[in-house]
């Protein structure tokens, strides 16, 4: 029997004065303004599976003035490295990183997608020299920022956003298995 389709509930605004959707954290990182639907991808990129006891909160598809809808994730006890922030930029180019110390925002950083990207992902072209030669770092020009699309400096082929996400998620799964 086909399940009856129901209309999705209207997403309420994230208004902490009326409803505390996610608790404040004492120390760690809040990744805000994540592209709606990508919070789990961000966690996966950070290698967070929940199996190692990390305390993580996420909110998905909450209303945002800037983005319409957005995701938020809070990771306790961990401040993200610049490499991790660069990888998050590939899937959530509008995100904001808030470093929290003692319940206060210690540092707020808006993610910026750079003009050039080095080493974060591989070129999607299997015949590209960067996929065959040892000791070479992949280098790309960013051709589109939302969603991020890259063009290889060497073979000039385009690596799509879907391919970038697949690579980043695949890489984090490998790291989690190690």
Partner 1 sequence: MKLRSQNLVSIDDLTTEEILTIIDRAKKMAPIARSGKVSTLLQGRILATLFYEPSTRTRLSFESAMARLGGTTISVADVSSSSVAKGETLADTIRTVENYCDIIVLRHPQEGAARWAAEVARVPIVNAGDGSGHHPTQTLLDLMTIQESQGRLNNLNVGMLGDLRFGRTVHSLAYAITRFNDRIYCIAPEGLELPQEIAADLKARGKQVIQTRDLLGILPQLDVLYVTRIQKERFPSPADYARVGGSYRVDLALLEHAKPTLDVLHPLPRVDEIAPEVDQTKHAKYFAQMFNGLLVRMAVLSMLLEA
Per-residue contact track with partner 1, 89 to 128, x per CB under 8 A?
----------------------------------x-x-xx
Given the DSSP bridges, would you call strands 148-152 and 139-145 parallel, antiparallel or unpaired?
antiparallel
Q: Cα–chain-centroid distance for residue 30? A: 12
The reply to whether 135 sits near partner 1 by the rule CB under 8 A is yes
Interacting residue with partner 1 among 21, 78, 157, 161 (CB under 8 A): 157
Residue that is written with structure tokens 């990182």 in the block: 29
Interacting residue with partner 1 among 11, 107, 109, 156 (CB under 8 A): 156
Interacting residue with partner 1 among 34, 152, 165, 168 (CB under 8 A): 152
Which part of the chain contacts partner 1 (CB under 8 A), choosing from 21-29, 52-60, 102-110, 151-159? 151-159
Given the DSSP bridges, would you call strands 68-76 and 27-35 parallel, antiparallel or unpaired?
antiparallel
Which part of the chain contacts partner 1 (CB under 8 A), choosing from 10-18, 73-81, 82-90, 150-158? 150-158
Q: Is 28 exposed, middle or buried (0-12, 13-18, 19+ CB in 10 A)?
A: buried
Separation CA 161–CA 22 (nearest Å): 29
The reply to whether 133 sits near partner 1 by the rule CB under 8 A is yes
- Closest distance of CB 83 from partner 1, Å: 23
Which part of the chain contacts partner 1 (CB under 8 A), choosing from 34-42, 78-86, 131-139, 163-171? 131-139
The reply to whether 163 sits near partner 1 by the rule CB under 8 A is no
Q: Considering Cα of 93, then 148, then 155, then 123, what sign does the dihedral take?
A: positive
CB 68 within 8 A of CB 116: no
The reply to whether 129 sits near partner 1 by the rule CB under 8 A is yes
DSSP string, 42-72: HHHHTT--STT---EEEEEEEEETTTEEEEE
Residues that bind partner 1 (CB under 8 A): 123, 125, 127-130, 132-136, 151-158
């Amino acid at each position: 029997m086909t399940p009856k389709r129901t209309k999705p509930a209207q997403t309420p605004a994230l208004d902490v004065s009326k409803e505390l959707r996610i608790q404040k954290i004492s120390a760690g990182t809040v990744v805000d303004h994540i592209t709606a639907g990508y919070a789990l991808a961000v966690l996966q990129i950070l290698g967070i599976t929940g199996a190692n006891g990390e305390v993580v909160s996420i909110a998905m598809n909450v209303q945002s003035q800037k983005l319409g809808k957005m995701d938020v994730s809070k990771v306790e006890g961990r401040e993200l490295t610049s490499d991790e922030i660069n990888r998050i930029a590939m899937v959530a180019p509008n995100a904001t990183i808030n470093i929290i110390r003692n319940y206060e925002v210690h540092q707020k950083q808006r993610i910026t997608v750079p003009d050039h990207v080095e080493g974060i992902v591989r070129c999607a072209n299997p015949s590209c020299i960067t996929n065959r030669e040892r000791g070479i770092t992949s280098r790309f020009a960013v051709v589109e920022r939302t969603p991020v699309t890259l063009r290889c400096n060497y073979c000039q082929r385009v690596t799509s956003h879907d391919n970038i996400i697949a690579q980043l998620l695949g890489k984090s799964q490998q790291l989690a298995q190690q």
